[in-house]
Amino acid sequence: MRPWTFPVALRPSCTREPVFQQIAQAIRADIRRGRLRPGDPLPGSRSLAQTLTVHRNTVLAAYRELEAEGWTVAEQRTTRVALDLPQSVAAARPPLRGGGEGRLGYDLAAPGPRRAPREPNLLCFGGGLPDLRLVPTELLARAYRRALASRNLLGYGDARGEARFRSALARFLSETRGLAVSEDRLMVAGGSQGALDLVARTLIRPGDRVAVEDPGYPAAWATLRAAGAELVPVPVDEAGLQVESLAGRLEEGPLRAVYLTPHHQFPTTVTMNASRRLKLLDLARRHRLAVLEDDYDAEFHFECRPVLPLAGDDPGGVVVYLGTLSKILAPGLRLGFVAGPRVLVDALAARRETADGQGDQVVQRAAAELLEDGLLQRHARKMRRIYEVRREALARALRRHLAGAVAFDLPAGGMSLWLRVDPAIDTEAWAARAQRAGVGITTGRAFDFRGRPRPSLRLGFSALDERELEEAVRRLAQALRS
């Protein structure tokens, strides 16, 4: 039987209310406010008597009164809260676990959007998530056990991140992304979203205008707004962010930063061309505009060579580079990072020390070992081959089942396809029917800055295997026909 961890506050000197009635009243109150739920066991009479330093007969008298009133039922070896409580009591019970009345006695700021829980048995095209079935858990577990043996990692550490991990990460970024960074120019954070949050709270002041891509990444918008930013949408076309439009926004008033995903634009997957990259860096240099470059899936480029990050050629020192290992391994590990000048990293570290202080040093040391041994790089190459096959499988299934209804350009990389839907099709209604058919899809409306309907779909292919992709598209086509 689990212990009762909430002792009853008794008033032995109170002559108007005997002690056994005080105990019974306290238990009634716990049932009313939802801390004790129907079927929950009460502590044994001896145990509760010892806790309250009263005679056992006093507790037994309280239990008999509760049973007589219908609050509890006595079984062979225990007393439990009755399952069939009076209707007035059941109706008053709070809908949420955790006690209290479910009400706040103070005001909250408007909350941002939350990730919807994934329904079981749903074939979800998702947001370009990695296939968790392919995570090298045995390698990671062995590295984690070895890291855990270093007990010094269980204490307080460097707010910038575990030193060995930052050193290994710097070499990895140099080899795979062409970045000339050292460990003192890296800040480890809780995923790319945590990295953006840390940067936003350090760079942005309430009321600062920040440009974002439209269509773009709603979670990033929420993070920037939470830091006090006023967001300014900038259109995206087949060559990425329209730098000319960004210049026009600057004429309307100063901008503090621009957030963008130039490698595989989220959600359209297009790559920003070289001409616009140069214009953007020049514009940012002249206007002292921070460029927040989110390179969230750099490892997954399937054709020719990947485009190097903006941060790789940044003479003006305007680029703040955000990245993650979540797409290679798993988002639950929360291994994001920021690369930038040492002054910026020091400011980020100072900011972090006012919040959680540091990240998970044990996980970071385990990841460092995988990087040092080349195991993470090998796993990334394996995933790249698998995801390329899945990209082709999804493309074939779409051409076979939905020709005429959707069109798309096969992206050179990334983890999803951006579909252009026939304008005659009600995309939102199609998505609702697909959900009922067991397929989760995201429409273009979710990525529109103003929430306007867009005749488009974003289908992530990395988390489903070839058989699942074929079945998901078949159901999608069936939902369209219905």
Q: Dump pLDDT digits (tens) for 376-414.
A: 999 999 999 999 999 999 999 999 999 999 999 999 889
Q: Where in the chain is the domain with CATH 3.40.640.10?
A: 135-377
* Residue spans in the chain of domains classed CATH 1.10.10.10: 19-92
202-249 pLDDT tens trace: 999 999 999 999 999 999 999 999 999 999 999 999 999 999 999 999
Q: Name the CATH superfamily housing domain 123-132+381-481.
A: Aspartate Aminotransferase, domain 1 (3.90.1150.10)
DSSP codes joined into one string, 100-159: S-S--SS--PPP---PPPPPTT-EE-TTS---GGGS-HHHHHHHHHHHHT-GGGGS---T
Predicted pLDDT of residue 205: 95
pTM for this one?
0.82
Going from the C-alpha of 234 to that of each of 46, 254, 262, 419, the distances in angstroms are: 70, 14, 13, 21
Four-way CATH pick for 19-92: 1.10.760.10, 2.10.260.10, 1.10.150.20, 1.10.10.10:
1.10.10.10
Instruction: Count other Cβ atoms within 10 Å, centred on residue 155.
Output: 8
What is the rounded average pLDDT for all residues in the chain? 90
> Is residue 324's pLDDT more than 80?
yes
Indicate where the chain has its CATH 3.90.1150.10 domain(s): 123-132+381-481
Q: For the domain 135-377, what is the CATH code?
A: 3.40.640.10
Measured CA to CA, the distance from residue 394 to residue 437 in angstroms comes to 18
Closest CA to 21 of 36, 5, 10, 30: 10
- Burial string for 68-106 (b: 16+ CB within 10 Å, else e) reads eeebbeeeeeebebbeebeeeeeeeeeeeeeeeeeeeee
Q: Strand, coil or helix: what is 251?
A: helix
Which range among 87-91, 152-156, 222-226 has the greatest average pLDDT? 222-226
Question: Which residues does residue 213 pair with via DSSP β-bridges, in sequence order?
Answer: 234
Q: And the tokens for 348?
A: 């980020």
Looking at the predicted structure, is the pLDDT value of residue 116 above 70?
Answer: no
Backbone angles phi, psi at 207, to 5 degrees: 95, -10
Looking at residue 87, what is its pLDDT?
53
Q: How far apart, in Å, are the Cα atoms of 431 and each of 217, 297, 442?
A: 19, 26, 7
| Structure-token pair, residue 67 | 């049973």
